[in-house]
Amino acid sequence: MTEPIVYLDWVKRKAPPPTESLSWGLALSGLPDPQPEWFQEVLQDLPLFGANHNFWLPLKETLAQRYHCLIENVLPTFGTSQANFIAISALVSPNDSVLVETPVYEPLVTILQSLTSNVHFIKRRPELQWSFDLDELKSFVFQKRPKVVVFTNPHNPTGTFYRDNEIQQICALAQEAETFVLIDEVYRDAVPELQNSSAFQMGTNVLITSSLTKCYGLSALRAGWVIAPSQIIQNAEYIHDRLTARNPFIWEELIRRILNNQQLMDLCGKNRWNRLTTNQSNLKEIANQQGWEVIFPSTSLIVFVQIKKLSWDEIYQRALREGVLVTAGNFFGDHSRFRIALTAEPEEFQKLINKLLKALN
């Protein structure tokens, strides 16, 4: 537990801080911060105290409505990172076999490796549009009988996603093998095909985690949650007792207000998602011109780029000298690619891409 998570260590301690001459715009993993004035209404008369010894019931009810589930299926957490840690800890015991995707968001792997020595990987394959080979998945789950299969949807770092009928197929396969499925859905809301639904409804073996961080730019609020079968939530609550004991009441009430304020949610999310299409269209044209290898989903906050003539380290260093930060693929277990965020305002995004082009040519 005291070993650094390399990606988070880089983000928090080793990456150069943003300045007037260095932008993090292409390295962000979600939308930038929204305007503070949008929150004046929800910040009015926030109470400090309330009956939240076992979480604030109105917040749990709000999340239960959002996911069409019972309050017994809900656990509020500090962001998706804590949600993933608590959910996996509630499920996995030492020596349990577990299966996780690759390329992969590194903190997911480090959580699993801290809990069991029996971590296996299944490749998302670029030749399959960054999907799993389902025959390979089926063979593994029925031979190894992992306790849980863990993946992100939409996928971090490629932005590609499974549609609900495809997720249903994976969940049914796992359920037949008596295996749980944990899906990090933090990027889901911005994808039109995935809106207003969740994989949680696709089987009694499904857990999902999410938050208001990536798609809404509210990372600073650490508003996250686990949605899972009630027996797993009960175990998760016991783990939460050891980590946090009790969430701040003012935080729980603020998150409830934000989730219930559709106008504010639209300002933070929906009203800003149109930039993703504009930025992706511009990047796709450049990628075709430059011969970059990248698979573009219909909508995404992020994409994963390969430039065969350059190593990820050379790309990173060149971009840095031009005042642009990009996220190296080695943080996701792929040393040949780098991640670009599509979340900046289009005018700013174009400026940053032009700087990147200058660095690479």
Query: The CATH number of the domain where 171 resides is what?
Result: 3.40.640.10
Burial class (CB in 10 A: 0-12, 13-18, 19+), 13: exposed
Q: What pLDDT sits at residue 274?
A: 95
Q: Are residues 286 and 248 in the same domain?
A: no
Tell me the residue range of the domain where 350 lies. Answer: 6-31+272-360
**Beta strand pairing call for 223-227 and 180-184:** unpaired
Domain membership of residue 286 (yes or no) is: yes
Same domain, 53 and 24: no
225, 179: one domain? yes
**Is the residue at 120 inside a domain?**
yes
Out of 266, 285, 310, a domain closes at 266
Residues 78 and 224 in one domain: yes
Q: Provide the pLDDT for residue 312.
A: 85
Of 246, 266, 286, the position where a domain reaches its end is 266
Verify that 192 and 293 share a domain, yes or no: no
Residues 137 and 213 in one domain: yes
Based on the domain organization, do 160 and 286 belong to the same domain? no
Verdict on whether the full-model pTM lies above 0.85: yes
Query: Could you give the number of structural domains in the chain?
Result: 2
Model pLDDT, residue 94: 94
Low-confidence ranges of the chain (pLDDT < 70): 1
Give domain status of residue 1, yes or no: no
Count the alpha carbons within 13 Å of 329 in the hemisphere toward its beta carbon: 19
Q: How far apart are the first and last CA of the chain?
A: 42
Q: What is the pLDDT of residue 196?
A: 85
Q: Are 103 and 84 within one domain?
A: yes
The whole-number pLDDT of residue 361 equals 86
Q: Does residue 125 belong to any structural domain of this protein?
A: yes
Per the listing, tokens 């304020």 go with 261
Query: Quick check: is 206 in a domain?
Result: yes
- According to the model, what pLDDT value does residue 289 have? 95
Structure tokens at 149: 């299969």
The answer on 99 and 15 residing in a single domain is no
260 and 278 both lie in a single domain: no
| Domain end call among 212, 238, 266 | 266
CATH of the domain at 332: 3.90.1150.10
Residues 166 and 133 in one domain: yes
* Residue 5: CA count within 13 A, CB half-sphere: 19
Return the pLDDT at 201. Answer: 94
Assess if residue 245 is contained within a domain. yes
Q: How far apart are CA 325 and CA 286, in angstroms?
A: 18
Any domain includes 224? yes
Cα 282 to Cα 75, 137, 276, 309: the distances in Å are: 40, 35, 10, 22
Distance CA 112, CA 98 (A): 8
Report the C-alpha gap between 53 and 333 in whole angstroms.
40
Asked if residue 164 belongs to a domain, the reply is: yes
Q: Are residues 292 and 202 in the same domain?
A: no
Return the biggest CA–CA distance within the chain: 60
Plot region of 79 (φ>0 → left; ψ -120 to 50 → alpha; else → beta)? left
